[in-house]
Amino acid sequence: MKKPVTADRPRALAAPLALLRRDMKLAMRRLGESLLPLFFLFTVIVLIPLGVGPGPDLLARMAPGMVWVAALLASLLALEHLFRPDLDDATLEQWFVGSESAYGRVLARLFSHWLITGLPVIIFSPLAAEMLNLPREALGTLVLSLVIGTPALSLLGGLAAALTLSTRGASVLLSILIFPLIVPLVIFATGAVAMAADGMNPGAHLGFLATFTILAATLAPFGITTALRMNVE
């Protein structure tokens, strides 16, 4: 009789952790693709000043918006590949084999999306802020707004990607779907940084941002799991 060899690790965590490890391995193997978010950030930071003129006051006012737009584009760009390769090579189907829910794997996949698109932007945002002459006192708020807000980008983007998975020409539809959902995110995030730059307390804006992210984290994974199941059927 073949016997299971491993000790009883909490089974519910085994599949999501395995998926996360594999996703990271795949990201390392396609390093060029994975570095695209950073490339985006610095393209925006370098090119926009050339277009609008390099007045330090002007750039400082625009800095939070530019960093956030870069984060947004980086996140959007990777959405097309969030679930589609898995649908094409039938590994997505395997998420639903057996009695275990795919919910944990959905969370793991969203987390790896955030690690690739959100985290690099957060890490390099101080450098970008410095290049744009953002007031020092607003720097902390910018980083904080990214930490709070970028997970919501992955969550909402994941929902749009899952819903449009089996649609032809999905990328257009995807952008249209996700656009209204992320408007409040950008408003509150850049609002918070502007408040901090003017020496006011950005707490209320950051609070709204956090509310938004928590709401997305609560609801989106269920929606994504259901949408994916419908797409593999």
CB-based contacts of 183, cutoff 8 Å, min separation 6: none
Q: Give the Cα separation of 107 and 117 in Å (integer).
A: 15
Cα distance between residue 221 and residue 227, in whole Å: 10
Task: Write the binding mask 50 to 89 for another protein: x where contact by CB under 8 A, - elsewhere.
Answer: ---------------------------------------x
Residue 9 sits in the site that holds another protein (CB under 8 A) = yes
Contact string (CB under 8 A) for another protein, positions 194-233, x = contact: --------------------------------------xx
Residue among 22 and 136 whose Cβ is closer to another protein: 22
HEC string of 95-161?
CCCCCCCCHHHHHHHHHHHHHHHHHHHHHHHHHHHHHCCCCHHHHHHHHHHHHHHHHHHHHHHHHHH
Give the closest residue to 72 by CA, choosing from 204, 189, 203, 214: 189
Supply the DSSP symbol for 129: H
Structure token pair of residue 53: 């003129």
Using rule CB under 8 A, residue 136 touches another protein = no
Of 7 and 50, the one with the shorter C-beta distance to another protein is: 7
Out of 60, 74, 83, 91, the residue judged to bind another protein by CB under 8 A: 91
Which 8-state DSSP code applies to residue 187? H
User: Least distance to another protein from the beta carbon of 228, Å?
Assistant: 11
Among 32, 57, 90, 199, binds another protein (CB under 8 A): 90
Binding mask 95-114 for another protein (x = CB under 8 A): -xxxx---------------
Q: Which residues bind another protein (CB under 8 A)?
A: 1-6, 9, 11, 14-15, 17-19, 21-22, 25-26, 29-30, 89-91, 93-94, 96-99, 232-233
